[in-house]
C-alpha cells in the first residue's frame, strides 16, 4: 500500500470525532429526557392531587365489568359481527377451571345497554326458560342490581332465535327491567346470547352465571360493578389538565374511565420531507428504543402498556413513544392514584415533545456537518501531504537508483539534499553513500592497474634472477625447483598483465580511432578463428549475409567478442554448444553469445560486468587466471560504442546468453583523425 493511502486510512481516525459527538448528543438527550420526565411526573402528581381536591371519586378497586362505547348501530340478532371491534376486550366470567367458557361483552349507546355473552358448551341440554326443567338444563342467570334492588333472570332457549328470559322473584319495581328478551344463537361449539336493556333501567352492578347441564356445578354468581367512560369525570379532568397535555384516568384493571386534553400538534410549517429525515435520523441514531405508540392509542378502552401496569402496582413510570407527526416523540407518565394506601387506579399523562428531537437533531446535524467537513479537510490535507511526501521520496529513490546504476556517479546531484527535514537527511546520507561508493568503485577500478604496476618490479627481479640462475651450475634436482619457480613467475606475470588489462584497455579506447567497417565480416572472421579453440564444443553462428555497417574500433569489438567466447568456452561443457548471433538493429547491431551450461546466479546479473567480479568457481583453475576483468572489458567496449552489455539466462534454462548492443562510436571531425 502506498504511503498516500496509508495516510488516508489514518485520516479515517477522525471518524472518532463524530462518534464521540454522537455519544455526547445521546447523553445530552438522555439528560433532557430525564428532566422532561421529572417535570411530567410532577405535573401528573399535581393533577392527581387536583382530582383529589375536586372530590372526584376514585374508581372502585377489584374486578369490574367495563361498558364499552358502541362502535355503531347495534342489532340484537345473536351474532357477533357488530361486536367485532370490541372483542379484543372480551371479559371472561367463566369458572376458574375454564375461564374462557363464559365470556361477556358490554357496550352502550345513548339509549341502550347491550350485552353479548358467549358460552362454550358442546353438550347441549335444550329447554325453554319457562320449562320446569330449565333450572337443571343449560342456562344463564343474569343478575342486575341497582341500588338496593336486585333482580335475577333465567335465560334459556330450546332453539335458536328470540327468547324471553324468565324473571325470577318479584318483578314489580320498574327501576330494573321486568322483562328481558333477546336473541339466542347456537352452533356445535356453544351458544351466544345477545340482549339489550334500556339506559333508563340500567343497573349499577351486573352478574352473569351459567349452568352447564353436563357438569351440573352450581355457579355462585357475583355481581360486579359496571365501569364506563365517564363524561363527568372527563369534564372534571378537562378542567384541570393543562394545554397540550392528554390525561387519562385508568382503573386498577387498566380500563380508561376518563380522558381529557389533546396532544399539541407540533408538525408546524416544516417541510414534510425534512421532518421525515429528521425523524429518521433521530429514531435511528438517538432514540431507537421508543415504545410502540399503539399501546397508548387514545381510542383504546383498556391500556396494556408496561408503564401503566407499573403505575397500577404503585410505582410511577414514564415511557416514550412516537407521536402523530413525523419525528415527534410523546412522553407518557403514569402515576398511581392512591387512597388509604390502596391503589385505585392510575393517571396517565402524555405530552408531545417536539423540541427534544429538534434540539438533538440540530446538534446532531451540525455535529455531522462539522465532523464531515473536518474529515474531508483532514483527509484532503493528509492526502496532499502524503502525495508531496511520496513524490519527494520517489524522486529521491529514482535519483538514487539512477546513481547506483551509474556506479555511484551521477551527473545531476541528488534532489532534496537542501531540504531541512528527515528526507533531506536521508538524501544527504544517500549522497554521502553514493560518493563513497563512487570512490570505492574508482578505487577498485584503479586498484588492479596500480597493483600490477607495483608488481612489475618485484616480478622483474624474480624473473631476471631466475634467468641468471640458469647460467649457474646447479645440481640436477635443484633445476626442478628453478623450473617451478619460473613457472610460478610466468603465471604471476600473466596475472599482472591481466590486472593491468582493464586500464590499458581504457586508454586504448580513449586513443581508438573509429573507422567505418563491416561488423559482419569482423564477426565472421572471429568465428572462423574460434572454431579450433572451442572444439569439441559445437559452435553455431547466426550471421547475416549482408554487411552490417558500424562506425567504431573493429579490434576492440573483436577483443570483446574474444572475451565473450572465452567466457562461454569456460562455462560450456565439452559436449555443449556455443552460439554466436549478429543482427542489425535500427541504429546499430546486436551481438549475442550464448552457451549451454549452468545458469547465472540471480544476484550476479547486474554485477557481472563490474570489475573484479567473477562467477567462476575458484577451485577450477584454468591456464589463465580469472579475475573478473573480461566482462568488465566487454562492458567498457560496449559503452565506448554507445551500447550496453547484458547477461541473462536462456528462457529454457539450457544456458546463458550475453548480449552486446552496439550503436557505433560518435563520429569525430575528420581533422581530428
Partner 1 sequence: MARHIAIVEDEPAIRANYVEALTRIGYQVQGYASRPDASRAFALRLPELVIIDVGLGDEPEGGFDLCRELRAKSAALPIIFLTARDSDFDIISGLRLGADDYLTKDVSLHHLAARISALFRRLDALGRPSAKETVVEHGPLKLEAERMRITWNGVEVPLTVTEFWMVHTMVRFPGHVKNRDQLMREAQVVVDDATITSHIKRIRKKFIAIDPAFDAIETVHGAGSRWKP
User: Which residues would be at the binding site for partner 1 (CB under 8 A)?
Assistant: 453, 456-457, 459-461, 463-465, 467-468, 471, 493, 496-497, 500-501, 503-505, 507-508, 511, 521-522, 525-530, 554-555, 557-559, 561-562
End-to-end CA distance of the chain: 57
Q: What is the β-pairing status of strands 342-353 and 245-251?
A: antiparallel
| Residue 172 half-sphere exposure toward CB, CA atoms < 13 A | 1
Between 410 and 559, CB nearer to partner 1: 559
Of residues 457 and 575, the one with the C-beta less far from partner 1? 457
Cell of 468: 641468471
Q: In angstroms, give the least distance from the CB of 461 to partner 1.
A: 4
Task: Give CA–CA dist 27/363, Å, rounded.
Answer: 12
Give whichever of 167 and 500 is closer to partner 1, judged by the CB atom: 500
Sign of CA dihedral 309, 315, 320, 323: positive
State the nearest-atom distance from the C-beta of 465 to partner 1, in Å. Answer: 6
Buried b (16+ CB within 10 A) or exposed e, 170-193: eeeeeebbeebebbbbbeeebbbb
* In the complex, least distance from residue 454 CB atom to partner 1, rounded to whole angstroms: 8
Whether the bond into 536 is cis, omega within 30 of 0: yes
Q: Considering beta carbons, is residue 76 or 526 the nearer one to partner 1?
A: 526
Measure the CA–CA gap between 332 and 263, rounded to whole angstroms. 11
Q: From the CB of 440, what's the least distance to partner 1, in Å?
A: 24
CB of 76 within 8 A of CB of 196? yes
Instruction: Closer to partner 1 by CB, 53 or 511: give it.
Output: 511
Given the complex with partner 1, which of 86 and 522 has the nearer CB atom? 522
Please state the closest distance from residue 539 (CB atom) to partner 1, in A.
Answer: 12
Cβ nearer to partner 1, comparing 162 with 507 = 507
What is the secondary structure of 113-150 as a DSSP string? Answer: EEEEEEEE-SS-----TTSGGGGTSSEEEEEEEETTEE
CB 430, min distance to partner 1, A: 36
The candidate with the shortest Cα–Cα distance to 253, out of 385, 346, 389, is 346
CB atoms within 10 A of CB 556: 21
C-alpha cell at 610: 563490474
Collapse the DSSP code of 579 into the 3-class scheme (helix H, G, I; strand E, B; otherwise coil) and give the result: strand
CB of 518 to partner 1, least distance (A): 11
Which is closer to partner 1, CB of 306 or CB of 529?
529
Cβ 399 to partner 1 shortest distance, Å = 36
C-beta of 579: minimal distance to partner 1 in Å?
A: 16
Give CA 292 to chain center in angstroms.
Answer: 31
Beta carbon nearer to partner 1, 404 or 558: 558
Give the angle 486-487-492 at the CA atoms, nearest 5°: 95
What are the φ/ψ torsions at residue 396 (nearest 5 degrees)? -65, -45
Amino acid at each position: 500500500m502506498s504511503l498516500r493511502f496509508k495516510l488516508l486510512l489514518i485520516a479515517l481516525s477522525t471518524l472518532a470525532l463524530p462518534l464521540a459527538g454522537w455519544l455526547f448528543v445521546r447523553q445530552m438527550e438522555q439528560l433532557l429526557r430525564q428532566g422532561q420526565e421529572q417535570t411530567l411526573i410532577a405535573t401528573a402528581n399535581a393533577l392527581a392531587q387536583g382530582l383529589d381536591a375536586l372530590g372526584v371519586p376514585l374508581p372502585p378497586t377489584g374486578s369490574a365489568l367495563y361498558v364499552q362505547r358502541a362502535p355503531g348501530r347495534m342489532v340484537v340478532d345473536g351474532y357477533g359481527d357488530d361486536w367485532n371491534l370490541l372483542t379484543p376486550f372480551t371479559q371472561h366470567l367463566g369458572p376458574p377451571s375454564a375461564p374462557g367458557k363464559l365470556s361477556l361483552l358490554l357496550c352502550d349507546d345513548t339509549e341502550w345497554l347491550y350485552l353479548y355473552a358467549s358460552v362454550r358448551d358442546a353438550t347441549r341440554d335444550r329447554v325453554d326458560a319457562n320449562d320446569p326443567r330449565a333450572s337443571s338444563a343449560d342456562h344463564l342467570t343474569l343478575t342486575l342490581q341497582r341500588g338496593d334492588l336486585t333482580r335475577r333472570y333465567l335465560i334459556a332457549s330450546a332453539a335458536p332465535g328470540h327468547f324471553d328470559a324468565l324473571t325470577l322473584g318479584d318483578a314489580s319495581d320498574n327501576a330494573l327491567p321486568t322483562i328481558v328478551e333477546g336473541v339466542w344463537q347456537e352452533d356445535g361449539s356453544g351458544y351466544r346470547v345477545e340482549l339489550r336493556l334500556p339506559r333508563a333501567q340500567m343497573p349499577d352492578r351486573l352478574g352473569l352465571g351459567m349452568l352447564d347441564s353436563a357438569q351440573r356445578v352450581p355457579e355462585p354468581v357475583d355481581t360486579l360493578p359496571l365501569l364506563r367512560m365517564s363524561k363527568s369525570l372527563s369534564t372534571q379532568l378537562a378542567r384541570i389538565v393543562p394545554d397540550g397535555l392528554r390525561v387519562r384516568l385508568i382503573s386498577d384493571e387498566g380500563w380508561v374511565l376518563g380522558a381529557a386534553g389533546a396532544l399539541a400538534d407540533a408538525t408546524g410549517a416544516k417541510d414534510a420531507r425534512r421532518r421525515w429525515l429528521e425523524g429518521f435520523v433521530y429514531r435511528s441514531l438517538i432514540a431507537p428504543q421508543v415504545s410502540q405508540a399503539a399501546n397508548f392509542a387514545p381510542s383504546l378502552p383498556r391500556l396494556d402498556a408496561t408503564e401503566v401496569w407499573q403505575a397500577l402496582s404503585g410505582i410511577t413510570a414514564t415511557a416514550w413513544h412516537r407521536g402523530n407527526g413525523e419525528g415527534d416523540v410523546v412522553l407518557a407518565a403514569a402515576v398511581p392514584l392512591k387512597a388509604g394506601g390502596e391503589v385505585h387506579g392510575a393517571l396517565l399523562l402524555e405530552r408531545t415533545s417536539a423540541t427534544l428531537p429538534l434540539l438533538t437533531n440540530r446538534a446532531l446535524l451540525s455535529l455531522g456537518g462539522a465532523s464531515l467537513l473536518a474529515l474531508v479537510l483532514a483527509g484532503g490535507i493528509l492526502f496532499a501531504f502524503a502525495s508531496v511526501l511520496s513524490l519527494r521520496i520517489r524522486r529521491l529513490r529514482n535519483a538514487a537508483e539512477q546513481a547506483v546504476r551509474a556506479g555511484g556517479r551521477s551527473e545531476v546531484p541528488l534532489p532534496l539534499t537542501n531540504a531541512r527535514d528527515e528526507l533531506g537527511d536521508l538524501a544527504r546520507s544517500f549522497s554521502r553513500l553514493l560518493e563513497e561508493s563512487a570512490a570505492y568503485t574508482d578505487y577498485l577500478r584503479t586498484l588492479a592497474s596500480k597493483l600490477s604496476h607495483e608488481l612489475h618490479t618485484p616480478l622483474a627481479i624474480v624473473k631476471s634472477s631466475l634467468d641468471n640462475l640458469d647460467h649457474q651450475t646447479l645440481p640436477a634436482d635443484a633445476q626442478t625447483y628453478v623450473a617451478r619457480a619460473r613457472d610460478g613467475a610466468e603465471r604471476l606475470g600473466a596475472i599482472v598483465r591481466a590486472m593491468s588489462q582493464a586500464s590499458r584497455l581504457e586508454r586504448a579506447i580513449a586513443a581508438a580511432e573509429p573507422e567505418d567497417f563491416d561488423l559482419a565480416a569482423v564477426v565472421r572472421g572471429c568465428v572462423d578463428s574460434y572454431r579450433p579453440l572451442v572444439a569439441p564444443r559445437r559452435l553455431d553462428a547466426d550471421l547475416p549475409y549482408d554487411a552490417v555497417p558500424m562506425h567504431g574500433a573493429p579490434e576492440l569489438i573483436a577483443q570483446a567478442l574474444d572475451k565473450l567466447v572465452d567466457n562461454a568456452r569456460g562455462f560450456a561443457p565439452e559436449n555443449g554448444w556455443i552460439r554466436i548471433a549478429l543482427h542489425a538493429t535500427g541504429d546499430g547491431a546486436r551481438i549475442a553469445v550464448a552457451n549451454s551450461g549452468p545458469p547465472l546466479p540471480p544476484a550476479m546479473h547486474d554485477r557481472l560486468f563490474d570489475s573484479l567480479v567473477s562467477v567462476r568457481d575458484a577451485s577450477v583453475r584454468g591456464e589463465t587466471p580469472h579475475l573478473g576483468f573480461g566482462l568488465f572489458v566487454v562492458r567498457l567496449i560496449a559503452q565506448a560504442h554507445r551500447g550496453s552489455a547484458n547477461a541473462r539466462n536462456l528462457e529454457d534454462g539450457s544456458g546463458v546468453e550475453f548480449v552486446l548492443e552496439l550503436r557505433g562510436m560518435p563520429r569525430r571531425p575528420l581533422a581530428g583523425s
